Amino acid sequence: MTKDVFICYEEWREAETNIYKPLIWGLNQVKICPVHYQVLQTLCPSCDKKLFSLEWYSRPGYCSKCQSWLGATSKLVLSSIPVLSEDELCWQQSDIGNIKQLIANAPNFSSPIKREKIKNFIIAFVNEFYNGNFTSFANAIETSQVTVYKWYNGKTAPKISSLLKICSFIGISLSDFLIREFNSVDYISFVNNSNQEELKDCPSRKTIDIIKMQQLLHTALKEYPPPTLQDLKERLGIKSASYFKEKFPRLTLEVLSRRKKYKIDDLEKRLSNFLLDQEKSNNVPSSITSIAINMKVSHKTLYKYFPALCNEITKKYITYRQQHKLQVLNQNHYKIRQAVIELHNKGIKPTSTKIIKIIGAPKIMLNKQNHLILK
């Protein structure tokens, strides 16, 4: 959907200049014409249908549906055009000024603005004026803490509307925010307009001792059993274990690898001991699922790290089940034969019902192979 200011079209036609749609009208943040301060319209005043930028019969200044001239201001009902409040108008004037300056400076950019640049600027500003407390900063700019935290981690970049809000709050232009370094920006406007007592009272984020963190990781590489990152986090007294990966990715990876190897070795040892105890006690072979439940791990984990051993256990279990099934079948056949002989000796014709009464196990006769013995 497109937005237009019809009075602009009429003025351009009267001045016999090119009729076009300014680039700035297409931005969602812009709601008014920067020349006439009139709200941008999305409906044709003649047919009352939505206006779109690209359609089969699109022409600048004309409705693509009814082909009427949009600059015919006499057809407009001025009372139907929404009016912005004084505060909204001030915001729009500030935003449009910032956007126009940014568009004008865009050809001079040596490269696209990277997300890392925006992230570093926000971090430096919060550290300088809010003692590193992102919660206070999020509350100050009336933005979700989750959103600000994503900016801080570099997971997302602020939208143009959020950037304009930040720039207005700080008191700098959007171009300065995106192009210049934090130390080269003048913050006089922000400092003068801010409540200094309120900024001083911002609780500071706990400073992380980088040297102590590094020493702790080196110590963890020598400990046995190797500690988890959760253990190291509690020792250092920080809120998140992700700081280790952020500050010392290589050391953290070594600690995690060592911990993983320890867990695998321990799991293999427990599995071997379990099988050894089972052989010594001559117990019935267990399935991988029952072994996993007994060891309090997933059977998928056992198959992942010990596929050969798991296949051997499964093979033994299947062999045992087949032998056990055959043994039970032979026992049932023997019972049926004895029952049949007993009925013959009494001169009674053997039937399933009479055999069940002698054996006392109705389920035996449900088996098809047992029925074949009776025949």
pLDDT: which is higher, 20 or 1? 20
């004309």: which residue's tokens? Answer: 62
Contacts of 59 by beta carbon, 8 Å cutoff, 6+ apart = none
- Specify the range with the lowest mean pLDDT, choosing from 11-20, 71-80, 237-246: 71-80
Summarised one tens digit per residue, pLDDT across range 305-321 is 889 888 888 888 899 88
β-partners of residue 62 are: 59, 69
Q: What residue spans in the chain does CATH classification 1.10.260.40 cover?
A: 112-200
- What's the whole-number mean pLDDT along residues 190-216? 62
CATH of 112-200, picked from 1.10.260.40, 3.90.650.10, 1.10.10.60, 3.20.20.70, is: 1.10.260.40
Q: Report helix, strand or coil for 203.
A: coil
Residue 332 to residue 349: CA distance in whole angstroms: 20
Q: Tell me, what DSSP letter sits at residue 97?
A: H
Q: Is the dihedral of CA 122, 124, 129, 132 positive or negative?
A: positive
Please say if the pLDDT value at position 104 is more than 50.
yes
- Cβ contact 31:39 at 8 Å: yes
Please say if the pLDDT value at position 279 is more than 70.
yes
**Which pLDDT value is given to residue 74?**
43
- The tokens of 206 are what? 């706990």
Dihedral over alpha carbons 60, 63, 64, 68 (to 10 degrees): -110
Q: What are phi and psi of 102, to 5 degrees?
A: -65, -45
pLDDT band for position 353 (cuts 50, 70, 90)? confident
Contacts of 274 by beta carbon, 8 Å cutoff, 6+ apart = 291, 294, 295
Contacts of 205 by beta carbon, 8 Å cutoff, 6+ apart = 131, 132, 133, 134
**Which pLDDT value is given to residue 27?**
75
């991988």: which residue's tokens? Answer: 288
Residue 257 to residue 263: CA distance in whole angstroms: 10
β-partners of residue 59 are: 62
- What's the whole-number mean pLDDT along residues 240-264? 87
β-partners of residue 43 are: 50
- Cβ contact 222:253 at 8 Å: no
**Which pLDDT value is given to residue 77?**
45
- Measured in Å, how far apart are the chain's first and last C-alpha atoms? 84
DSSP 119-177: HHHHHHHHHHHSTT-HHHHHHHTT--HHHHHHHHHTSS---HHHHHHHHHHHT--HHHH
- The tokens of 238 are what? 């920080």
**Which pLDDT value is given to residue 143?**
86
Summarised one tens digit per residue, pLDDT across range 143-191 is 888 888 888 877 888 888 888 888 888 888 888 777 777 776 666 666 6
